[in-house]
Amino acid sequence: MKTIVGIVLLTAMIGGLYALNSATKTEQGKSILHVAEPLPVTVEVATPQRRRIVRTVQAPGDVEPFHEVAISAEVVAKILEMPVKEGESVSEGQLLCRLDDADYRARVASAEANVAKLKALVIQAEADLEKADRDSKRQMRLSENDATSALELADYHTILVRSRAALEVRRQELIETEAMLQSAREDLEKTVITAPIDGVISQLFAKQGEVVITGTMNNPGTRIMVVSDLSKMQVRSRVDESDAALVKPDQVARIYLQSDSKEFISGHVLRVGAKGTKAQGRDVVTFETLVVVDRNDARVKPGMTASVDIEVDLREDAITIPVQAVVHRKRQELPEDLVKTFEAETGKTDRTTERRGVAEYLKVVFCIENDVAKPHLVETGIGDATGVEITRGLSGDARFATGPYRSLDQLKDGAKIKTATDAKKKDEVKEAPVEAQAEKTEEKQEGEALAENRG
């Protein structure tokens, strides 16, 4: 019985304390029964800076020549002569490769003979037509005097029509043969391959004595060599789809080579791909972006891996603070008057937020005022790797908390603040008496030792 009474009394005591605690809460949600003051939060403090801030988009890529020509075979033949080597510089029009042209010279000679034969046949057909026309006219005169029959007149007219048709056939055959002659001459010219641009033989695939073939739908054909103009280079980069809309032609870019990632090479955007692509086996969509190197640099070589930083936005004199100083808090965790003032100034009253339980997070910077944290709602602009632009909500001389993260995470409106500098000074003051006592002890030991020596 006593046990039951004790449990009832204990339960009643706990319930009474809970009710009293709830009834004595302040407007800030704190109970007046709390006699222990919360410990101050140690934070690092800074002030805004005015500086140049640049928003960049990063993209990986590969270096390649701006002008590059792959030399492939346009006719089937054996390589008779190849006077160039890989890495050798060549000029436009210089001989790169000579193919066996015996078969093509024979085709040209055959086509020329056919053209000459058909020209002679055209002359013969013209003479036949002239005779048929003359005979037909003579029969017409005879028919006027009833000196010939209608059947003979019709036969001569038929001969005239056939002669005209025969002449037209010969002329069309001549045109066809002349086209074949032109094609044969072009094929003969293709047996001599010259450099299309000034550059360097960057790759050499074929060798003398090898038979080269032309490409078809299912066969790419024989690649003989690649001529690259190394005086102007570019980076074929891959921009993520989330950043592709920010990249525009002529934007400034900084190119970092994997072989030398400390110094950048200046460049600019030439164009951005209109359609995204996916790498095989990956779901990431990227847009191909060409970045041209502004000046000739010996460090830039074809095939190198590079990283490109493209400047997509710029502020010359922006109020900036460290990125980590901007934290997010729910509306219901902030003072109501602060939220209303911010909404009145910005016009951003989100009624849809109320319908989903006031769960919207707002950007906040905790300023230090009289050693107390005060939240300031802010609007941010562009940012870089270390800082972010503040466009509204923070003055240029404000003192705000920048870290550490654990302290920023537990900061609330009205929280007491202790700066990291003050904490360090206090620790130094505490350590000073200890060091002084140690010095006195050492002096005392030295004195005792000296006295013993004298004794």
Res. 59 pLDDT band, cuts 50 70 90? very high
> Which pTM value belongs to this model?
0.67
Res. 275 pLDDT band, cuts 50 70 90? very high
pLDDT given for residue 63 in this prediction: 95
pLDDT given for residue 366 in this prediction: 93
More confident call, 25 vs 85: 85
Res. 431 pLDDT band, cuts 50 70 90? low
Cβ(252)–Cβ(268) below 8 Å: yes
Query: How large is the average pLDDT for residues 197-213?
Result: 92
Q: Which domain holds residue 164?
A: 101-190
pLDDT given for residue 5 in this prediction: 59
Q: Any idea which of 52-66, 197-211, 271-285 has the lowest mean pLDDT?
A: 271-285
pLDDT given for residue 281 in this prediction: 77
Domain boundary among 165, 190, 215: 190
Place of tokens 């020329």: 112
pLDDT given for residue 447 in this prediction: 52
pLDDT given for residue 390 in this prediction: 92
pLDDT tens-digit map of 304-356? 999 999 999 999 989 999 999 999 988 888 888 888 887 787 666 655 444 44
Q: Is 138 part of any domain? A: yes
The two structure tokens encoding residue 141: 């005169």
The two structure tokens encoding residue 300: 């830039």
In the chain, the number of structural domains is: 2
Mean pLDDT score of the chain: 84
Q: Is 13 part of any domain? A: no
pLDDT of 450 > 50? The answer is: no
Res. 358 pLDDT band, cuts 50 70 90? very low
pLDDT given for residue 332 in this prediction: 83
CA distances (Å), 74 to each of 70, 176, 202, in order? 12, 22, 20
More confident call, 214 vs 449: 214
Which among 186, 203, 224, 9 is positioned nearest to 97, based on CA atoms? 224
What's the CATH number where 160 sits? 1.10.287.470
Q: Any idea which of 25-29, 143-147, 218-222 has the lowest mean pLDDT?
A: 25-29
Q: Is 10 part of any domain? A: no
Res. 141 pLDDT band, cuts 50 70 90? confident
Q: Is 298 part of any domain? A: no
Q: Is 123 part of any domain? A: yes
- Between CA 98 and CA 202 the distance in angstroms is 19
Which among 41, 40, 56, 50 is positioned nearest to 394, based on CA atoms? 50
Q: Is 172 part of any domain? A: yes
More confident call, 345 vs 240: 240
Count CA atoms within 13 Å of residue 17 on its CB side: 8
Task: Give percent of the chain with pLDDT exceeding 90.
Answer: 52
- Between CA 229 and CA 198 the distance in angstroms is 6
Res. 109 pLDDT band, cuts 50 70 90? very high
pLDDT given for residue 454 in this prediction: 46
Res. 10 pLDDT band, cuts 50 70 90? low
Q: Is 95 part of any domain? A: no
pLDDT given for residue 446 in this prediction: 54
Q: Is 368 part of any domain? A: yes
